[in-house]
Chains A and B, each alone.
Chain A
């Protein structure tokens, strides 16, 4: 019987308990252990902490003070945040318009592909599975030139020209659409693999029982597999959202030079340094603004994210 993936196994719990008991006797080792762990926390958080402090400092203050100390009195300012939000606002909207549909689509397509190649079992599926999985490891440089050619030939903006007259529609959405399609296509391999591993853990007998109950393959997906996929959808959606939100390369290649009106937040953040604002405080504030959605997702669903990367 398949159940949603459980946390640490009972064995590991008992092992941890036993180890913990043994270790309590050696207090000194314990203290050293926590000291090391704490130092490592410092190591991982230092760049973020220094960045956060800097983002609240005036140019004058960060030029003179120690980077990781908080700003003092007149050195404190919110100006960098105001600038960062102003400069990145459009990018945030674009990234959201891009990441949400691309995430949902790539997860959905990965799920049905994995169902068709895992739960429905047929003889010569391995080569196709291999092609899906190998797609994860492709260096994107190998497809950049064709991608730029493709979107030079397929002019989404004119093809969908009827849409741009509608309310709430803007012409630069065409570029975002191109990016969505691209991200969906390159996201399918990883979502496929995640779902495939999950579906392999399903009990065969359960699927067979459904067949004998008279359920068609569509009904089995709709009534059995899909409802049971919820935990894996959480993992996949979170993982894909961070990946797509964080991407820079495809946006650089597919969007018109400089990103234009369709630039996602990563492109906008990168432009912050070269453009108007040279100051580190604004750049740091910008980095946090751009990272905010993924940080929120990560803090709320860190467990699922860990599961996504571990598989």
Chain B
């Protein structure tokens, strides 16, 4: 390959083959310059056969590029294959299963002629699906929005040059290091109607009116779940916002102060607009957490949280692993996947456009 490009280069007129006069300007005669009249002609030639030159250029570059490429393969290809098989291979497989009628304890039949969208049709006609989809959306939007607001407030508080900042930050982020299984246990106990901490505290404050059957009452069930998830993940939003706040130069705070802006106005007009990137990335990650909230619901309610808190993730698991409706479960999973894609794809594309991938 390299030889070949060499030969090609030699054959090309005016390229490597033809040696120009000895070291341009070496003798220092005025007027003898590399870009004198002589090389203007060379320039024209270069442009005139740009097509050929371009072909050669890619060829020349490829020899080096390919060596970089070839050398990089042992590093990324094995992890890529493992990850690719489990992530993209499995999603493809899942999609294929969703086209079949695979259910029960028999083996799936991958017969292309029998592939159809029946399972998706079934989902569209299934009220449970619509409830779950609606709950998923509510969970996604409400949880993410509240988490962001709460996380931003936390970040602003922690950013006030407080003492023991690290300690506060560590405590606020602590729930995130816990398993959903553990936090679900804690909150099941917190929400216990008779002896749980929330209701006990409320009655001690004389607010018996407010004591509710938090996680069995359909009206409060989803809200209670969202509240617990906010408890677990608002620390994450705080950490992201804190990094964003720290990246804003001092002068912006000071300029706003000099301009006489009130603290509230300063944050609203000067600081908040600069946190757009932080908000974007925190929002996407929080939505992904929300989509993965399955563990929490599963531990709290088993595989059927009831219509008030059923989300697509629990419904999929129930259909597939509870009722052995494998194909139906797969179809629901694909819908969930599409929802995740709708959230993430624009974000990744934007990151790519900004060159931050």
Contact = CB atoms under 8 A, between A and B. Distances in A.
Given A113-B80, A116-B75, A138 B195 contact: no
A294 to B, nearest CB: 5
A291 interface: yes
Given A11-B250, A221-B75, A137 B340 contact: yes
Interface in A18-54: 18-20, 23, 33-34, 36-37, 40-41, 43-48, 50-51, 54
A51 B339 CA distance: 36
A75 B299 CA distance: 28
Given A67-B196, A145-B330, A252-B321, A120 B71 contact: yes
B316 A137 contact: no
Contacts of B192: 280
B309 interface: no
Contacts of A15: 161, 250, 253
A212 interface: no
Contacts of A37: 157-158, 162, 168
A149 B93 contact: yes
B200 A287 contact: no
Interface stretch (A164-172, A229-237, A301-309): A301-309
A141 B88 contact: no
Given A67-B195, A146-B97, A306-B173, A287 B186 contact: yes
A129 B162 contact: no
Nearest to A115: B75
B72 A14 contact: no
A41 B197 CA distance: 16
B179 A302 contact: no
B357 A134 contact: no
B193 to A, nearest CB: 13
Given A11-B250, A112-B75, A68 B197 contact: yes
A135 B87 contact: yes
A133 B348 contact: yes
Contacts of A253: 321
A246 B68 contact: no
B348 A50 contact: no
> Ordered nearest first, which 4 A-B pairs have the shortest CB separation?
A116-B75, A246-B179, A116-B76, A185-B86
Contacts of B89: 146
Interface stretch (B40-48, B268-276, B289-297): B289-297
Given A67-B196, A186-B87, A141 B72 contact: no
A44 B171 contact: yes
B299 A117 contact: no
Nearest to A200: B356
B204 interface: yes
A143 interface: yes
Contact of B189 (A11, A122, A280): A280
Interface in A274-306: 280, 283-284, 286-287, 290-291, 294-295, 297-299, 302-303, 305-306
A109 B348 CA distance: 22
A11 B86 contact: no
Contacts of B329: 144-145
A86 interface: no
Contacts of B159: 16
A109 B339 CA distance: 29
Contact of A283 (B162, B174, B185, B253): B185
A144 B72 CA distance: 32
Interface stretch (B7-15, B27-35, B122-130, B235-243): B235-243
B154 interface: yes
Contacts of B330: 145
B195 A139 contact: no
A182 B336 CA distance: 20
A120 B75 contact: yes
Contact of A141 (B73, B204, B333): B333
Contact of A23 (B160, B180, B291, B337): B160
Contacts of A115: 75-76
Given A138-B337, A221-B75, A188 B83 contact: yes
Contacts of A44: 171-172, 174-175, 231, 235
A181 B90 CA distance: 14
B160 to A, nearest CB: 6
Nearest to B177: A298
B181 A248 contact: yes
A120 B187 CA distance: 48
